[in-house]
Amino acid sequence: MSSLRTVRLVAGREVVLKLQSKVFQISTAITALLVVGIVLSPQLLPGESSEYRVGITAEVPAALRELLNESALLLEADHRLVTYPSAAEAVEAVRSEDADAAITDGSTMVFKDERETQMRALVSDAVIQHSRVQLLEAAGLDAGQVSELMGPPDVEETVLEPGPEDDGAGIGFAAVAAMFLAIGLYSQWVMSGVLEEKSSRVVEVVLGALTPRQLLAGKVIGIGGLGLLHMVALAVVGAVAASFGGTGVPEAGTSTFVTAAAWFFLGYGFYAALSAVAAALVSRQDDLQIAFLPVMAIAMASYFFSIATLSDPGGTLARIGSLIPSVAPFAIPARAAQGAITAGEQVVSAGITLLTIGVLAMIGSRIYSGAILRFGPRIRLREAWKRT
């Protein structure tokens, strides 16, 4: 049997075993429900009304009411004018929070407190503009002249360094967090699989038909492929939920997911190789978490490094991080979400990461080969290296 076919059979075995696992099925269902809940939470959770209630009296001129409507349109604010018989009743409505603000005549505004809010800006802007119009009309200007003076000035704006889209940083943060959780989860799957076979002595039978290197490669590839499908399935669930919720998926989110999917394989290959070697060094479940600590420490340091670069995705720190194999799978999708990385940078980073994975695979397979059949106390790296 060829080496490639052997690796493919091992990979298929890993996928089948994981899909048949009740733990996998239940955890996937729960995760999908959590994704739907997170996506739909803005629509499902009760929130404060976005409509502003502005109390007015009969003394408020029609022109001021029109200015209130225009200000609300400019500020993209929903508002409703509520007419009260007297100024006292309008003030009482604000005090009892039946109204958010009140205008008792052409120039008097009433607010419950001194907080600066969109509603305060809406009312203040309308009243100030109305007062200015009255002063200009009192000075003898006609309607055309008043309209010209009150209109927006003719100015030009030049942006020297256009920034990313507003949702870029948020999507970048989500990409970093999702990548960290995904790589951590699937690397733990690798560790658990290695330890289960070793502790049950199944590995002794398996290694009678193939080499340790083939077993390691098949395990990493199989779980990685299943992990990618798992991640894509959850993303589809989230996208469908977003569509039903009316929010939709932003364009930057779709392109970022494609980039993240490509870098998932690179990041997973790096951390899964480390995880498999760490699991091969132990024989008991109690020692597994201790063995995983160094791998998790590298992943967490890379995660926090990537988070630190979100505020300046095109800066020197972000560029350096993109060249570090442990950091690149987190940093590059985040930078891509903000449009702060070129295709050339991604190619160079991918090349460095692939080269590192290749070297790590050679070193890791030798250590794995020397440790996988060693049972009992935890074996040292040097001893595993010499036993090969």
Query: What's the pLDDT score for residue 325?
Result: 92
Beta-bridged to residue 80, according to DSSP, are 53
pLDDT bracket for residue 47 (50, 70, 90) = very low
Whether pLDDT at 324 is above 90: yes
| Token pair in block for residue 126 | 């309308």
Sheet holding 109-111, edge to edge: 78-83, 51-56, 101-103, 109-111
pLDDT of residue 246: 56
- Tell me the pLDDT of the chain averaged across its residues: 79
Of all residues in the chain, the percent with pLDDT exceeding 70 is 83
How far apart, in whole angstroms, are the C-alpha atoms of residue 87 and residue 287? 75
- Name the token pair of 208: 């009678």
Looking up tokens 């400019």, which residue turns up?
74
Contact 145, 311 (CB under 8 A): no
Instruction: Single out the residue of 388, 206, 380, 185 nearest to residue 278, CA to CA.
Output: 380
Q: Quick one: which H or E segment has residue 343?
A: helix 343-371
More confident residue, 165 or 88: 88
Provide the 3-class DSSP secondary structure of residue 103: strand
pTM: 0.62
Contacts of 268 (CB under 8 A, 6+ apart): 182, 183, 186, 187, 224, 227, 329
CATH 3.40.190.10 domain extents, the chain: 51-150
Give the CATH number of domain 51-150; options: 1.10.3720.10, 3.30.830.10, 3.40.50.970, 3.40.190.10.
3.40.190.10
| Contact between residue 273 and residue 362 where contact means Cβ atoms under 8 Å apart | no
